[in-house]
Amino acid sequence: MRALLLLAAAAFAPLDGSAVPRIEADHEGDDFGTVYRGERLSSKFVLVNRGDADLVIRKITNECQCTASRFTIDGKSWEEEQLKGAKELGVLSPGEEAQLEVVMRTAVATTPGDEKAISKSIRVHTNDPARAILALNMKATMISPFTLEPAKLDFGVVRKGAEAKCAAVIWSDVLGEFPITGVTVPNPDRLAVKATRVETKPGLPPTWRIDAELLPAAPIGEVVTHFDLAVDHPRVKEIQVQVKYVVEPPVSFVGNKEDDPELLDFGQMAVGTPKTVELTIVNGDPRIPYLLGAAQLKECRPTSEGFVAEVVEIEKGMKYVVKVTAPATLGKTSYFHGNVELSATHPDVPLHKVRYRGWYKKGAP
């Protein structure tokens, strides 16, 4: 391998014999063998300029789970957060060295119960013309020493403002005692988590219960996130738990089609007879009123002529019915469709569109 690298360096050497930098590491990877999920694996690399011109360390980029935790060059140390996005980290004169410390977190590498080979790398970007990027690798075969049931917390679909809770249990017959000393949540305003030791019968493995609650500040939409459990154990230092939830607006819009609630379906209409369908709007969070201002027909095809949208207030801020009436006929055109645009005073759904469609057919009931 070294011979190949030397040949490659020669291939990129300037034809005029001018000086060039050349990066080299004391070693280019570590194999940790079999490890537990939750261990933090550390490596230290020594980088040397073996060329005869200044070597510029331009940046250091991380691969998922593998992080440059500290880089020391010319007496200055760059910590993990400082390295993110930093450029022009320093210069090594010919023969000078720099030290790079790397940490690989295994907590996020796989789901509990799986055995998996993991291989990650850190990339050092330089002005070496033969090797602009030096990849330093870390690999291991990982097994999970604990069981998390369920393997991730899935809240399913939740209306914003509604109470939503999830729980899981975690145990291990391999680790012995593994005290959970803390919980780190990326967005604590959205998710609250606590860990409690479960009293078990003699002979059963140590067990913990994890309780999670989705908070009102959780954003609307589908979210996949996680939280970290800090563990006081000689090997396992953290357990990462995956979380998924879908938050829907607190206001529901229900049309007349069961398998597609947000659709007003006129179906087949008899020519010469107008037809009315209804949309029901219900606000599930009384703390924030939904004040419907207008219902307008938009993007209508072939035309909105003859269509009427009427708002009926059942309970102000809480419940409305919108009645949409299609005219007796649209002439030669048989198919029609469009949107009912609902304008309201509400922080989450100030504007909402509901589709409508239908067909005219002679002889239809």
Strand 133-143 to 29-36 pairing: parallel
Q: What pLDDT is recorded for position 236?
A: 95
Residue 9 has pLDDT above 60, yes or no: no
Q: What pLDDT is recorded for position 114?
A: 62
On whether the CB atoms of residues 324 and 276 are closer than 8 A, the answer is yes
- Please check whether the two domains, 147-248 and 251-361, share a CATH topology: yes
CATH no., domain 251-361: 2.60.40.10
The dihedral sign for the CA sequence 93, 11, 99, 64? positive
Summary mean pLDDT of the chain: 90
- Which residue ranges make up each domain of the chain? 2-143, 147-248, 251-361
* Span 78-91, average pLDDT: 91
On whether the CB atoms of residues 140 and 31 are closer than 8 A, the answer is yes
On whether the CB atoms of residues 107 and 239 are closer than 8 A, the answer is yes
- Alpha-carbon distance of 317 to 346, in angstroms, equals 9
Tens of pLDDT, residue by residue over 253-266, are 999 998 998 999 99
Phi/psi at 238 (nearest 5 deg)? -155, 150
Question: CATH fold of 147-248, please?
Answer: Immunoglobulin-like (2.60.40)
Q: What pLDDT is recorded for position 5?
A: 42
DSSP states of 91-131: EE-TT-EEEEEEEEE-TTSS-TT--EEEEEEEEEEE--SS-
pTM: 0.74
Which of these ranges, 67-71, 112-116, 309-313, 354-358, has the smallest mean pLDDT? 112-116
Question: CATH fold of 2-143, please?
Answer: Immunoglobulin-like (2.60.40)
